[in-house]
A and B are shown apart, each in its own frame.
Chain A
Amino acid sequence: MNVKLLKLLCKNARYTVHELSVMTGLSEDDVKSQVSEMEKEGLIRGYKAVIDWERLDSAMVSAIIELKVEPQPDVGFEQIAEQVKKYPEVETVYLMSGGYDLCVIVKGKTFQEVAMFVAKQLAPMKYVVSTATHFILRRYKELDIELIGDNKDDREKISF
């Protein structure tokens, strides 16, 4: 496992094998084999694009749902988390410390759709004690990538 390689992929999964090789000092063959090894082992779970959906007319909406759950003997929160994550509407599920138990990020076409999903699917689930829905209104930064504002380089164009 090469941490440098992981950091680079984390920053930009579309670097070519050649670029990764040059930047890490590994041979191209090593880059290829290490990446596929990490994929096989499940260390790397996938690659995705970060998209500014707001630029589209058919923008998606997302909400963060705070789920309070009654933990079950032996399995704790695992079972309910397993159930929640199966819904295609559910993008993210985290077990949380603090005021609630599961953080669920849900996406849908409209606020209505997301709200209905919560009301009809999540809230009535056995052992779910309560839900609180927080809609995401604006995304400034996601996965280290800024979605709003241009980071202008305010340095001189040339200096000694």
Chain B
Amino acid sequence: MADSIITGIPVATGIAIGKAFFVNRSHAANLPRQTVAARLVGDEIDRLHDAFKTVVQELAAIREQMPEELKSHGSLIDTHLMMLKDPKLSGAAEEYIKSLGLNAAWALEKAVADQEQAFGAISDPYIRERMQDVRVVADKVQTKLMGVEVDMTAISGRAIIMAHDLTPADTVELQADKIMAFATVRGGKTSHTGIMARSLAIPALVGVEKLEEKVKDGDLVVLDGLTGRIVVNPSEDELEEYNERAALFETYSRKIKRQCHLPAETFDGSRVEVLANIELVEEVAAVLDNGGEGVGLYRTEYAYLNRKELPTEDELADKYIDLASIMSPRKVVYRTLDLGSDKYIASFGELNEANPAMGLRAIRFCLKNPQLFKVQLRAILRASAYGNVSLMFPMISGVKEVRQAKAWLAQAKAELRREGVDYDPDMPVGTMIELPAAVMIAEYLAHEVDFFSIGTNDLIQYSLGVDRTNSHVSYLYQPLHPATLRSIKLVVDAAHQAGIEVSLCGEVASDPYCVPILLGMGIDSISMTPQAIPGIKRIIRQTNMHDCRKLLRDVLECRTVSRINNLVMDNIFKHFPEEVTFFSSLLENDELPT
């Protein structure tokens, strides 16, 4: 048995086996806390300033040697340098050594705590987050003071880099050819670590909370970027098993990647469009690399977050036009602003709603703030002149909402026409189906729009009444609940009855177990994270529409989720025994709490 198995959020897929190598740790928890004799206070102050000076010199040298492709991160290093030179940090630490006789590392920790308090009071989330930068530079100085420094150039072969957090400066110093994987305590799905790992094509996990506690330098670890697991000091058997798994995965991913540009067509000749969900224009490279046939969901929130002022129409149009023209003639579906709930715009502030998931968000927020809405509609319309652009509204609950949203769109068109600005007058307009109410009236909504896009993540949560991030009830988040399946089927049928297309853009679309059922329903396109496309395309290319329809019929007769899951899994085990070990599925959630 392994010493321990810990988990994190996978941000880059693959399996790596190697020696743990810590490049930076947060020192706050295990800082030496001593007092210094009065006669040594002067020396301790010198030690503090020397440590600051060394870190400044090292960082300045890194800044100097930064390769061209990472230059955009230069300004972050400049910020770190200014913080290191800031008397408010080093000077405050010096004061603590002088007045309280603390050792340098502890004194610096107190200076950091003072800053934490100052930053904590700021309402601008962007500025508040800069506290993380203060933490990063303080950690670097404390590393020097404690003499626990790691020589990154000493990394030998097959290293799995572990860190509290990885900064762009850290990644510049690392030698890419010797690194097998990354794991960090901090960070979310969109962190720098994930971007780095994907560009190096190595697996990575972030948010591994117990990393510093459970893993020691030099431990043999298996990092599974498919399941999000880190196995610490595995047994002989486990090691052999993972070695085999890694080799198989390697072969498998090479094979599916080679075939990813082939169309997603079943044995018996049915075509499904396989599209990508993206958030940044930069992701188009990944879309095209992975065989994406277009963008089925462009989330437009990013441009509105972490800033004080709203983006201007020109700023948005620049981005939107870039995306439309790079992807042209492939389709790009722009979803209008889906803010509120968990994400909100700084200039509007938090809404303080008791229940934000049912609050003023998405289309509701836009209809309440038509000026903001129209700026975005105009920018999307302008992009429509440059490519194959569609637009869709999120969180629609009724016919009136769609009509209101379309009225603003018509007004934006009229304005542009008067101003002589080009746009595509026939740009398709769709609505997302995320609310049970929208499902029930899909028949009516279908007459208002050109296409549907089913957002299953929200639809499942709203119809089952389950917040999947709430660990008390997350076991009830069941993508293949009979209610979910009937909802999807109802929407697909209503769309086809009215002669419009229907797409699906939730995580279900990239779940290999669920895809055959979606095919059976006759869905026209599915949209998913770019990295999932090759695997899903392969599944589609190896199935028969006839079998999918049969599976769907069987599944629709089941009364319980476990029966459905069993049927679906049997189907996959039967047809894809080879791949099955590499799938991570939403269905594995199916266990009752004890």
Are A and B associated in one complex? no
Q: Which residues of B contact A (CB under 8 A)?
A: none
A residues near B (Cβ < 8 Å) are: none
